[in-house]
Amino acid sequence: MLKWFSIRGIITEIKRIRWSSPKDLAKDSATVIIFTAAFALFFLACTAFNAWFLTDLLGV
């Protein structure tokens, strides 16, 4: 049987986990939120440009 495939092995593996510090977690979360907002604004601008281009210039 595999060594890690037991309760003792699972507990040992759980103890090896290194969680991020609250400071790093906040920094990484802020980075994700900022990039998500930036991409949302980019896609909104692309959609608005396409709508303007199709309606005003092409008359579709």
| 20/22 Cα distance (integer angstroms) | 6
pLDDT for res 60: 74
- As a residue count, the chain comes to 60
Contact 4, 13 (CB under 8 A): yes
Q: Give the predicted TM-score (pTM) of the model.
A: 0.63
Judge whether 28 and 36 are in contact, CB under 8 Å: no
8-37: pLDDT as tens digits: 888 888 899 998 999 999 999 999 999 999
User: How far apart are alpha carbons 14 and 2 in whole angstroms?
Assistant: 16
Q: Return the amino acid letter for 54.
A: L
Q: Looking at residue 43, what is its pLDDT? A: 99
41 and 35 Cβ atoms separated by less than 8 Å: no
